[in-house]
Amino acid sequence: MTLAAFTASVLLCLMAAISPGPAVLMAARVGLAHGWRSGLALAIGIGTGAVLWASAALFGLNLLFDYAPFLLTLLKVGGALFLIYMAWNMWRHANEPMSQVSDTQLPQTAFAAFRLGIFTQFANPKAAAFFGAVFVGTVPDGSSPFTLAALLICIFLGEVTWNTFVARIFSFEKTRRGYINLKHVIDRVFGGLLAALGVKIAVL
């Protein structure tokens, strides 16, 4: 694999990470509610999920979906239900003060944030489609294990860096004070966006 091809593949994955979606929304949400440290843990989970998707793609994920398309349908439905469940929790607790928000809506520990990051990445079948069709098409047959490992590391770092940046932007004290004052509105907006993404995933 040439350096140019490697760079193009990494940039493609970075653009996919930056594009708006459930992961970016969740990073902003966690950054607002719990600060950038929880956002970092979430971002590491998102990066881990991306690496797992990419690894599966390199080992024939697209072929599996070609031979068993119902698996992709199950993935889409399951992911949509997860996002809609998160949206419902945000909407249901929108009027509650931060101190009363339940564990089911917001991660209370770094591990919970990490786990939520993985679940969020797995709930987005677009990630499976991207890595299974677009990403794997940029990796030449016969690429060395070292090259594949370097690609996975770059994917992880790109996802973690971007989502940590999003969480950090939303974790600034001025931003958080504004969130506390407008929590009932912002939570409903975030919940509505997540629900819309869930519905879109289910029907496409």
Tell me the average pLDDT of the chain. Answer: 77
Query: Is residue 197's pLDDT more than 60?
Result: yes
d(CA 141, CA 67) in angstroms, rounded, equals 21
Query: Is residue 199's pLDDT more than 60?
Result: yes
Q: What is the pLDDT of residues 119-163, one digit of tens each?
A: 888 877 677 777 766 676 777 777 788 988 999 999 999 999 999
Q: 152, 54 in Cβ contact below 8 A? A: yes
Query: Is residue 117's pLDDT more than 80?
Result: yes
Query: Is residue 181's pLDDT more than 70?
Result: no
Q: Select, from the ranges 74-78, 98-102, 110-114, 179-183, the one with the highest average predicted confidence (pLDDT).
A: 110-114
Range of the domain at 56: 3-203
Residues 6 or more apart in contact with residue 180 via CB below 8 angstroms:
98
Six-digit token string for 162 = 């971007």
Give the model's pLDDT for residue 36. Answer: 84
Q: What is the pLDDT of residues 21-62, one digit of tens each?
A: 788 888 988 888 788 889 999 999 999 999 998 888 887 755
Q: Treating both helix axes as pointing N-terminal to C-terminal, what angle do 22-34 and 183-203 enclose, rounded to 10 degrees?
A: 160
d(CA 133, CA 86) in angstroms, rounded, equals 28
Q: What is the mean pLDDT of residues 192-204?
A: 70
Beta-carbon-side half-sphere exposure of residue 188 (alpha carbons within 13 Å) = 6
Q: 159, 50 in Cβ contact below 8 A? A: yes
Count of structural domains, the chain: 1
